[in-house]
Amino acid sequence: MIAEVYPLKRMSRGLSAFDYLIPEVLQIQRGMFVTIPYRRSTVNGIVKRVKDKPVRGITLKSIDSIYAGVHLREEELSFFESLAQDLFQSPATVLFSAFPQLPKKEDALNVSPSFSWLPLTLPRSEAETIVRLVTQLKERSKAFVQTPDIRRCTALILGYIQGTEKQKVLLLAPTLRDVEQIRSHLSGLEPFVITGEETSIERFKRWKAFHGASSGLMLGTRTAGLMMDSTITTIFLVRSGDVNHKQEDRNPRIDLRELAWNVHEQFSANLFCLDVVARPQTFSRFSPAEILGWPMTSKAQVIDINKDPQGRHRSITYQAEQLIQERIAQGRVLIVHQQKGIAKLILCHACGHRPLCPTCETSLTAFSHTLSCAMCHHKEPMILRCPECQSTELIRVGPGNQEVAQEVKKLFPDSSVSIVDRDHPSDDGARIVIVTSFFLEQVYDPFRPGSFSLVLLTNADTPLYGDHPSALESLTHELWQWRWLAHTAHATFLVQTGSPSLILKALEDTETLLKEDLASREFYHLPPFYQWLRITLKEDEPHKAQLEMTQLKQRLSEIPDVRFGALTTLPHEGVALEFGVPTQEKKRLHALFTSLPDRYIIDTGLFS
């Protein structure tokens, strides 16, 4: 008897499983964890299938041993194989991402987590909302729930779990900080926590314990989502619109939102997505009865910067200045300004030259004494003359948070002012604090929110300045996450914008705006109606790379209704091609891409 085995290693996408002889003393089945000789070492593997074929003149190595006590069920291994096909990766690579290392001894599998909990409280006025939403979730197999923050998400999840017996729940959050905050407030529950921060062996121990249980709770990030269990009854996807749910920087490029949806469809697990606002895709996957809201009682105030007499104040309008002056005595003021440094960029008034990063060609952000790249973190000294024409007429374009802080100090000299961003990560309790999104991600604690009287967005239009197809989605998400912070703090929410009608629609008629965006995506062949991919060819010789990619493009053009972006040369990276295919045509790519060598890097979730 011969077993085909997936080695738990990163493998080329064209490689599948390897044949091994089955010793007579071993009973081997599909999905078993085994130990196999591989090249000059011994590795773990997972059995793909057992076959009864004679050895044809090839000397095969034998399976060393079985890892008893746990195996992948038929439907679980099939899920991994299907996922690998969708990601254009080898099944071995995807399995290795989930199970990189197994314990050597079975007696090391005892799992005894110990937890201490912090109190979880909500305002009395919100108790009725939690009860209503929990009741509605128990009547549905899938739903999107608009929830203000992690604190309310945790309360909703806790209410659902405590009122339901024999559930096996997978709770997924985008960041380690989210996981830690949720875990510490799940009173009375002891989840198996998997975040990728633990050792590979400890991760496997926790998965094995959860996999073998009839009920329980697993909490984690993308890593936990990849460790499959077909008996899961319910999945909660917290902050479902967060970009951290997608693996951007290395293969396999897994999008946890798509993975959770596939688990819901294939294993009939309940799927509940929680976030501050829906995504356009939400309306293509959830019916109106499955989109549940959290009551918003406060109104947002919108200032049209085109009509406001800003005078000498470049970032704070006159109306905003007056409102800050009025509210500062009642509590702290939060000013959201998403540009760091002194200015967004430096521009030569004489010739129009702007300093670019020598590594990635991104515009350099101006700080007090340096120019810094936001993409690759390259730094160089501030220039005093234009390197192209030697002119000293250098203009600062787009004020950064350091310049805004100087303006605010002049406007309110009697109030303390501080900055919170990645370079200034601590909140010192200043009366006026100027923040970027880093504040929400790493500093703000919704379980201990503090006291704010005013939340001001200096330029809500910033997400619209880029050319990404999801710019409107990003704008809506940005508005709502800060609006919910203001709402839960009982603070006034103030927005400065050059597009007041669009901002008002995003705040007051959100569903209509997102449905219009969804219709636009269909018209312009964008997700979820088209699957867009980027192929990057790593090649030192530009001419050879261009030739190979042109040949690949010709083969792709045979797919009906394929759409091509530009073929671009990337500094120090090679050549990249972006293209989209109708979602129903994606399977035509499998045979083509599995034959490509690993010099071709495939990102399957472009624009998602």
* Topology, domain 124-292: Rossmann fold (3.40.50)
Euclidean distance between CA atoms 43 and 457, whole angstroms: 54
Examine the pLDDT at 111 and tell me if it is beyond 60. no
Cβ partners under 8 Å of residue 287, min gap 6: none
pLDDT in the model for residue 539: 80
Examine the pLDDT at 113 and tell me if it is beyond 60. no
Instruction: Compute the radius of gyration of the chain from its Cα atoms.
Output: 27
Examine the pLDDT at 92 and tell me if it is beyond 60. yes
What are the tokens at 475? 């704008």
Euclidean distance between CA atoms 521 and 532, whole angstroms: 12
Euclidean distance between CA atoms 201 and 8, whole angstroms: 14
pLDDT in the model for residue 312: 46
Cβ partners under 8 Å of residue 52, min gap 6: 1, 2
Phi-psi region of 188 (alpha: psi -120 to 50; beta: other; left: phi over 0): left
Preceding peptide of 528 cis, ω within 30°: yes
Mapping DSSP onto H, E and C, the string for 269-310 reads CEEEEEECCCCCCHHHHCCHHHEECCCCCCCEEEEECCCCCC
Which percentage of the chain shows pLDDT scores above 70? 96
Torsion angle, CA of 328/332/336/337, rounded to 10 degrees?
A: 70
- Please give the angle made by the CA atoms of 395, 397 and 399, to the nearest 5 degrees: 120
Which one-letter DSSP state was computed for residue 74?
H
**Contact by Cβ (8 Å): 33, 73:** no
Amino acid occupying residue 590: H
3-state secondary structure of 12: coil
pLDDT in the model for residue 559: 93
Report, as an integer, the average pLDDT of 148-160: 96
> Per residue in 200-258, pLDDT tens?
999 999 999 999 999 999 999 999 999 989 999 999 999 999 999 998 777 788 899 99
Examine the pLDDT at 15 and tell me if it is beyond 90. no
Which one-letter DSSP state was computed for residue 195?
-
Report, as an integer, the average pLDDT of 296-306: 88
Report, as an integer, the average pLDDT of 266-281: 97
**Contact by Cβ (8 Å): 344, 359:** no
pLDDT in the model for residue 361: 73
**Contact by Cβ (8 Å): 43, 72:** no
What are the tokens at 236? 């909660």
Beta strands 216-220 and 168-172 are parallel
At residue 327, what are phi and psi to the nearest 5 degrees? -95, -15
pLDDT in the model for residue 335: 96
Euclidean distance between CA atoms 183 and 192, whole angstroms: 10
> Per residue in 501-543, pLDDT tens?
999 999 999 999 999 999 999 999 999 999 999 999 988 787 8
Q: Is 364 or 55 the better-scoring residue by pLDDT? A: 364
Euclidean distance between CA atoms 147 and 145, whole angstroms: 6
> Per residue in 334-388, pLDDT tens?
999 988 877 777 788 788 888 888 876 777 877 777 888 866 778 888 888 888 8
**Contact by Cβ (8 Å): 302, 498:** no
Sign of the Cα torsion 425, 428, 429, 433 reads: negative
Examine the pLDDT at 573 and tell me if it is beyond 80. no
Examine the pLDDT at 54 and tell me if it is beyond 70. no
Examine the pLDDT at 133 and tell me if it is beyond 80. yes
pLDDT in the model for residue 250: 76
Cβ partners under 8 Å of residue 432, min gap 6: 324, 328, 332, 333, 335, 408, 412, 415, 416, 417, 418
What are the tokens at 339? 């540009």
Q: Is 465 or 190 the better-scoring residue by pLDDT? A: 190
CA atoms within 13 A on the CB side of 449: 24
Sheet containing strand 563-570, edge to edge, reads 563-570, 574-582, 530-537, 600-606
Q: For helices 471-488 and 510-523, what crossing angle results, to 10°?
A: 160
| 575 membership: H or E segment, kind and range | strand 574-582
* Topology, domain 300-340+400-515: Rossmann fold (3.40.50)
> Per residue in 70-79, pLDDT tens?
999 999 999 9
Q: Which among 280, 341, 283 is positioned nearest to 469, based on CA atoms?
A: 280
Q: Which residue has the tokens 């079975």?
A: 106
pLDDT in the model for residue 313: 53
What are the tokens at 566? 């530009």
Euclidean distance between CA atoms 516 and 292, whole angstroms: 19
pLDDT in the model for residue 53: 74
Which percentage of the chain shows pLDDT scores above 90? 61
**Contact by Cβ (8 Å): 479, 457:** yes
pLDDT range class, residue 164, cuts 50, 70, 90: confident
Examine the pLDDT at 108 and tell me if it is beyond 70. no
From residue 275, give the alpha-carbon distance in Å to each of 132, 239, 242, 332.
17, 4, 8, 26
Every domain of the chain and the residues it spans? 2-102, 124-292, 300-340+400-515, 530-606
Euclidean distance between CA atoms 337 and 344, whole angstroms: 12
Statement: 530-606 belongs to CATH 1.10.287: no
Euclidean distance between CA atoms 91 and 77, whole angstroms: 9
At residue 194, what are phi and psi to the nearest 5 degrees? -130, 115
Euclidean distance between CA atoms 171 and 256, whole angstroms: 12
At residue 512, what are phi and psi to the nearest 5 degrees? -60, -45
Report, as an integer, the average pLDDT of 433-461: 93
Examine the pLDDT at 604 and tell me if it is beyond 70. yes
pLDDT in the model for residue 106: 61
Longest pairwise C-alpha distance within the chain: 88
Report, as an integer, the average pLDDT of 496-500: 91
Domain 2-102 shares a fold with domain 124-292: no
Least confident among 21-25, 265-269, 290-294: 21-25
Cβ partners under 8 Å of residue 1, min gap 6: 21, 22, 28, 50, 51, 52
The architecture of the domain spanning 2-102 is: 3-Layer(aba) Sandwich (3.40)
pLDDT in the model for residue 18: 92
- Give me the chain's average pLDDT, please: 89
pLDDT in the model for residue 311: 44
Least confident among 52-61, 180-189, 451-460: 52-61
Euclidean distance between CA atoms 551 and 309, whole angstroms: 57
Examine the pLDDT at 271 and tell me if it is beyond 80. yes
**Contact by Cβ (8 Å): 172, 237:** yes
Q: Which residue has the tokens 């020598």?
A: 358
